[in-house]
């Protein structure tokens, strides 16, 4: 881990935090106070950030890059989520027993804002209004997560993959080319699929695979319709 020499202006950091769920709706001065002592840190390719059970000295906000969150189950790693820009890491553990719940590993390179946990909690203890605001925000996030899990269980593997591809597409209609942000095997793990199932699902969707993790979606509207079908026959 290293301090990033090209640290953006504090105003840019604050702007991004205002769009981060934990800090959304807070005044700029309140955010400045809460993150006092925070620093931007850069992590290298496949660098381990922390492991489950480690004490939460800092919690993190992903400013750029992707971070794999996983748990170990009987010696096997299970990918829970790939955290993207704007994701907060370690907040639940900080508010809980003070130890990280999952392993965190950077996929390529990433820049994160490391916020001292003890200082953050001390300042928060003086502001019950912000505490209630954060509880409301976290409650909303939990409801959305439960909804996403329910939707995930109702979808087929092909529908899960189709929804993931739609989230990557910048266009709204027609034919589009998209690139997987990380290795397809990791995408399969994240979506609860086997690598061979991902290949079959791509074929079922009529999505053409190309080199360098690139795929071509023939018709976004058709893919969107497929992903919301209740009965695939």
What is the structure's pLDDT at 8?
47
What is the structure's pLDDT at 151?
66
What is the structure's pLDDT at 230?
52
DSSP 156: -
Total H helices, total E strands in the chain: 9, 12
How far, CA to CA in Å, does 163 sit from each of 31, 124, 135, 205?
34, 37, 29, 11
Any idea where the domains of the chain sit in the sequence? 2-153, 156-227
- Spell out the per-residue pLDDT of the chain, length 233, in tens: 444 444 444 788 888 898 888 898 889 999 999 999 999 999 998 899 999 999 999 999 999 999 999 998 777 778 888 888 889 999 989 999 999 999 999 988 899 999 999 999 999 999 999 998 888 877 776 777 777 677 666 778 888 888 888 888 887 878 888 888 888 878 887 787 787 788 888 888 888 888 778 889 888 888 888 887 654 44
- Tell me: domain 156-227, CATH 3.50.30.60, correct? no
Smallest CA-to-CA distance from 152 within 136, 164, 140 is with 164
Which pTM does this prediction carry? 0.71
What is the structure's pLDDT at 231?
44
Domains 2-153 and 156-227 share a fold: no
Q: Other CB atoms closer than 10 Å to residue 179's CB: what's the count?
A: 11
What is the structure's pLDDT at 80?
84
What is the structure's pLDDT at 1?
43
What is the structure's pLDDT at 6?
45
The fold of 2-153 is Jelly Rolls (2.60.120)
């Amino acid at each position: 881990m290293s301090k990033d020499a090209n640290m953006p202006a504090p105003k840019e950091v604050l702007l991004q935090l205002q769009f981060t769920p934990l800090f959304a709706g807070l005044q700029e001065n309140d955010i400045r106070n809460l993150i006092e002592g925070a620093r931007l840190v850069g992590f290298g390719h496949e660098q381990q950030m922390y492991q489950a059970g480690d004490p939460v000295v800092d919690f993190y906000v992903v400013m750029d890059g992707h971070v794999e969150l996983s748990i170990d189950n009987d010696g096997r790693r299970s990918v829970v989520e790939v955290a993207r820009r704007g994701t907060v890491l370690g907040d639940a553990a900080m508010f809980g027993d003070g130890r990280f719940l999952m392993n965190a590993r950077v996929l390529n390179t990433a820049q994160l804002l490391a916020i001292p946990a003890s200082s953050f909690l001390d300042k928060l203890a003086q502001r019950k209004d912000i505490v209630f605001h954060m509880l409301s925000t976290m409650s909303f996030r939990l409801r959305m997560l439960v909804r996403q899990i329910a939707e995930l269980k109702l979808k087929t593997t092909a529908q899960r993959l189709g929804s993931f591809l739609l989230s990557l597409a910048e266009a709204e209609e027609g034919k589009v080319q998209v690139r997987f942000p990380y290795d397809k095997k990791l995408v399969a793990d994240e979506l609860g699929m086997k690598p061979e199932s991902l290949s079959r699902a791509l074929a079922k969707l009529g999505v053409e695979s190309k080199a360098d993790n690139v795929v071509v979606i023939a018709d976004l509207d058709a893919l969107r319709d497929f992903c919301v079908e209740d009965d695939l026959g």
